[in-house]
Amino acid sequence: MEIAIASQNRRTITDHTGRCRRFWIYHVERDPIQDKRLKELPKEQSLHATSPNAPHPLDGVDVLICRGMGEGLQRRLAPRGIRALVTTETDPDRAVTAFLANTLPPGAPHGHSENENNPEEGASP
């Protein structure tokens, strides 16, 4: 199983997944974490910037964990086979461990204003 964690700053879980361009990818077999690597995407491959029908570098990921995501993005990920989870957890390693133990604290999806479709506006470093 592959679990992606949205982490724009490489330390904490990102609030706005659609604009995020850095993801920790965890490879897990049963319970122990086998591998962890950082996947960095160019601006044009952020989830908000790509077409819902185009191939994406996160294709093949089973679960995507973040701190904030609109329901529209969750719906866009579902046909790719990606289970999107929003959490209040901020630490990527703890989030994966909690997910595997079925104790990941849930968060709530958030709505978007119309200008949030612009991946450049308000993007994290």
Domain ranges of the chain: 2-113
**What gap in Å lies between CA 90 and CA 38, rounded to an integer?**
17
Residues β-bridged to residue 23:
6, 39
Handedness of CA 73, 108, 22, 93 (dihedral sign): negative
Question: Can you tell me the distance from the alpha carbon of 43 to that of 51, in angstroms, rounded to the nearest whole number?
Answer: 13
pLDDT value, residue 109 = 63
Cross-strand pairs, 37: 25
The architecture (CATH level 2) of 2-113 comes to 2-Layer Sandwich (3.30)
Mean pLDDT of the chain: 86
At residue 80, what are phi and psi to the nearest 5 degrees? -85, -5
At 30 the pLDDT is: 73
Q: Is the pLDDT of residue 120 over 80?
A: no
What's the full length of the chain, in residues?
125
pTM of the predicted protein model? 0.84
Q: Please write the tens of the pLDDT for every residue from 67-97.
A: 999 888 999 999 999 999 999 999 999 999 9
DSSP at 87: B
